[in-house]
Structure 1
């Protein structure tokens, strides 16, 4: 009877396709706090509107893990998720295809069969003569958790229609129950995070169950647990005190690792490390164990920022890191005597302090055969300062070969920048990337380039400031007044699953200011977001309200 679940899925999900958005537009930072206050003093409190949000692959796998105890990661067989505004949980680009519908039906069948055989779903005994009472109990409990909200008697009655269908086919009652369970997993109430639009264009505060889902998918990339569901059922998520208590509880839970994998993995580019392929003839020291150690280093440092007392801006120059013997040797650090990563103090090795000393970032922002000051500079502008340059003009050639074999990278970049069509963007990108030239394409510290020429790691900014290597770079970025708002913008984009627009500018500034005033830790930023109108409310669809 698999056809029934597939057909039902297609009917239920018709019209639930998201529309893609254009590339994110940059929100410029304002270096004048007084100007910010004047600009935002009377700004509207429009929280914006999130498109119907399909679970992405990471969220699907985490949800069936917590719902059914399944750790097989079935979503690996699904089509890849599109990205929008830097993340793969952007609701506007998470579309639905016929292939994905089929994958959902196949996964649901396997998930239910496996869970049923393990006894995870049977809360009572299905009597052949009168299976409905037990079936109702099983389906009510399961649908409540899977749909992340209470289910109505009518909804349960519709699910129970599978019982007579099974009987008509000569199947036992358990076949009907399993079919109903599968239909729960292909319902839009499971596959999408449902939020009702307000009846008017006036913003509406989310109900407790919608808020519980926003919170759990923000921090865990998964469904609410029983503690959070019960808090929603009791109406306790309406108070800031309860929301703060839930956030702190959830950040201390191992499931908060999802913030590392899914937020930091995309914001800090550690996911991209999986596809990095340095030229083996030039950089044969790079291998799979080193790739893994680099990724673990960045993930463990960020994990400490989730639970520790560090200010978020201290990511720029954190005086500690996590390395195993192989990565320590690669970096020129004393080996910690362990094949697994250990926390090490960097007070005597300032070149490795902060994210700019991480091999993961330095590798993914390099070409296979050389460093790339452009890629490194663009990463800083986009991910830390939200001042991304415009796309390059058409028909622009790449970096030309050196005029002589002993030219430094800075000299080669200067020749490229001399082209009139290249000057504007490169004046800001290049200095930021050139300040990191002491790091080779696989993150090793160097004093000489491959050609033998001494490294010139000075970057000349348009205002005359000279960044003399990584230490100046760290100070420059950490002290930039645009940094708090940019960190907020990325975190809020991920939390909401939508990109930021002009109307969000003042909210981003306010959330950042609140977080900094509270201590500037990552938890302060998360709390400031969760307690904001942007997170707890939603705007209606103006087009749907028009006559």
Structure 2
């Protein structure tokens, strides 16, 4: 039994070909009628025929070799079950061993010939519209407006586990209406026709910082070197939040009093915690009161104050370009020379006006053009650039002509030029050439494989890795016809770009089925610590961990088991981890004290033991694979088989009740499951799922570690059908990690499906074999997986109609 299950796993992971090659002469073609179809008719169709179809498997429609190749996943499962001795069932007549051997050889021979003789076939991808995520990201990168423009769009349908599959991305009348409304709203944000006046931010002297109860409630705020208290020495300053970059004017109304003849001098400073190119600290040594209150500052200008009474107060005005990182303005009195009488500066108010150009940055970017050109040529220059980026290829002359005509019509109706550009760009945003990822084909009826053009390849690559449009570098290489030759370095560059977070948010979340966590509601009376903040922390941990695998180019096997994770204080408390070295309450006495985890910010934590580490023991995964009131070994085991190993069990028989509905089952969860498995209809599948699920039983329904259930010690040990035993999750993770080809194959299939936007077919089998081979040759590095997919036949090529049957 153990040997049979191992052979079945090897079969699913691609070793069936090697087995067939080693078993004899591959040119000796078995008699399919005698060895395969007769065997099926005699031993299989009474349970898996047209009427019965147990486990949702029906074999009656397979009449020839091609149909078996097309149904390869079904037949691989058949081989799995027969080799494991699970089919035919023990209570049915058993075929002769020689007949079973001939049957297995016949099926494997079909697979072998298919792989040896298969002509490269890239398949066909249904034209895809941008899904909601791709739409938002593309608007962000095209227009520069970063908000949830697709918030009101209908939800995208899911196919083959993902929401970017062309066959299910339909376009309803409601969605078309939302596209029109979104385009109008986007362009109104991006281009302002009536530019508002620059705002002035005014602050009276008594309300400037440093603040305190000792600040006099009067019009003029005095500062001098007479008193060492910060409120009376200055520098005076005030905060400005979320200032857009640009040109500003700062004005301070002031006068000075002194009995001396020396001029009174002041400085205006820009201040910010993250100020770009700050001045050295010693430049502030001559300012009364010093600059200790500021982490970094930059002296913008020095002024001489000539006014000596309030009636003759003067405005010190400064025009400046706001330094990057500035969030505060300050005015400081410079120290008088030694021996000089006391100088006092009196400040009435600060006033900051700007930015002088109130046009948004998006407008300056989108309407950038040669100022010396006539308006009509400026219109063409702007619309050619915008349409080419929006369509992800150079716009044709005819396309730009039509957009220019729209702009001219708007101008003729009395619109300003900015309004006309706004209107023409709205038309671009509702064009099918923007909304759909069109791969225009001059030979749509041709069945032979041919390469995508460079711009189509750039789009496939960018939407695969970034879920967004190509950037300037991809466009540049495509325009020069050099993208194909630079594919590997471009993939590596893109994976290190922050936009690669899309691989987590759009691929990994769907692959791992973590989207369900947002709606998951554990029982509040049983799990009092669970709340929305903890829910978001769970997702954040998984995101940062997955991105570390991607951007550090680690092995995909680290996804199964790793010695690090990311935690904040709240999630650390949930895990029982106190600091970034993995200290727990149990190990605290034996480890040096370290600063505790930050309250909100996530930091990388080096795990001190193998209790946690990897996706399988993360709270996000453990929670979505549980019921609201208890853990579910079945869900957890099934999740590992389906999402990690790619070997899902068949669906349960329709007449078997849920465990919770079986009131006669008593005892601990493991004991109740054992009684449930006494049903022969349940035992076969549960033997595969339950041992895996029970390995994680120490983690409760929200992923918190526990030692007991129902006051009984939890037993996480188990044995897999292939005979491998484990004592808990750490050992099981190592067993799963050792099945690296099986995991690599499953992840390759998932990611290729996501990258292509279509389900995989029988003719994609050689592509998967090649991807897995390349992955194994490069130590299973994440970048190699993405590179092999990007270089694959179906990713880089296309064909027209389906080839003749």
Shared fold (TM-score greater than 0.5)? yes
From 172, 179, 192, the equivalent of 1:97 is: 172
Q: Cα distance, 1:216 vs. partner?
A: 0.5
Residue equivalent to 1:180? 424
| Structure number having the greater helix percentage | 1
1:345 is aligned to 2:606: yes
Residue equivalent to 1:108? 183
Q: Cα distance, 1:28 vs. partner?
A: 3.8
Residue equivalent to 2:722? 463
Query: What is the rounded CA distance, in whole Å, between the counterparts of 2:615 and 2:179 in structure 1?
Result: 39
Matches within 5 A, 1:79-94: 79-94=154-169
Normalised TM-score (structure 1): 0.89
Matched positions, count:
514
Query: What is the rounded CA distance, in whole Å, between the counterparts of 1:215 and 1:437 in structure 2?
Result: 41
Contact 2:665 2:676 in 1 (8 A): no
**Structure 1 residues 372-381 or 408-417, which shifts more?**
408-417
Matches within 5 A, 1:59-458: 59-117=134-192, 118=360, 119=363, 120-124=365-369, 131-167=375-411, 169-197=413-441, 198-199=443-444, 200-239=446-485, 242-336=486-580, 337=596, 338-339=598-599, 340-346=601-607, 348-400=608-660, 407-449=667-709, 451-458=710-717
The 3 A distance-change label for structure 1 pair 405 and 535 is: closer
Q: Cα distance, 1:520 vs. partner?
A: 1.0
Deviations along 1:293-334, one digit per CA (max 9) or x if unpaired, are 211111111111112242101211111111112212211222
Contact 2:579 2:605 in 1 (8 A): no
**Structure 1 residues 276-285 or 207-216, which shifts more?**
276-285
1:30 is aligned to 2:290: no
Q: Cα distance, 1:476 vs. partner?
A: 2.0
Query: What is the rounded CA distance, in whole Å, between the counterparts of 1:106 and 1:89 in structure 2?
Result: 23
Query: What is the rounded CA distance, in whole Å, between the counterparts of 2:143 and 2:686 in structure 1?
Result: 52
SS at match of 2:537: helix
SS at match of 1:321: strand
Deviations along 1:79-130, one digit per CA (max 9) or x if unpaired, are 0111111111111111110000000000001111211122242224899x97
Contact 1:30 1:36 in 2 (8 A): no
Q: Cα distance, 1:36 vs. partner?
A: 8.3
Deviations along 1:153-211, one digit per CA (max 9) or x if unpaired, are 11111112213432564444444332221111011111111113444100111100000
Q: Cα distance, 1:287 vs. partner?
A: 1.7
Larger Rg: 2
Contact 1:408 1:454 in 2 (8 A): no
Q: Cα distance, 1:134 vs. partner?
A: 1.8
Query: What is the rounded CA distance, in whole Å, between the counterparts of 2:553 and 2:427 in structure 1?
Result: 45
Normalised TM-score (structure 2): 0.61
Say which structure, 1 or 2, has more relative contact order (CA 8 Å, 6+ apart): 1
Residue equivalent to 2:731? 472
SS at match of 1:421: helix
**Structure 1 residues 532-541 or 51-60, which shifts more?**
532-541
- The alignment yields a C-alpha RMSD, in angstroms, of 2.4
Contact 2:191 2:418 in 1 (8 A): no
Contact 1:206 1:537 in 2 (8 A): yes
Deviations along 1:398-420, one digit per CA (max 9) or x if unpaired, are 11468789722222112222223
Contact 2:666 2:672 in 1 (8 A): no
Q: Which consecutive unaligned segments of at least 5 residues does structure 1 have?
A: 1-26
Contact 1:460 1:467 in 2 (8 A): yes
SS at match of 2:526: coil
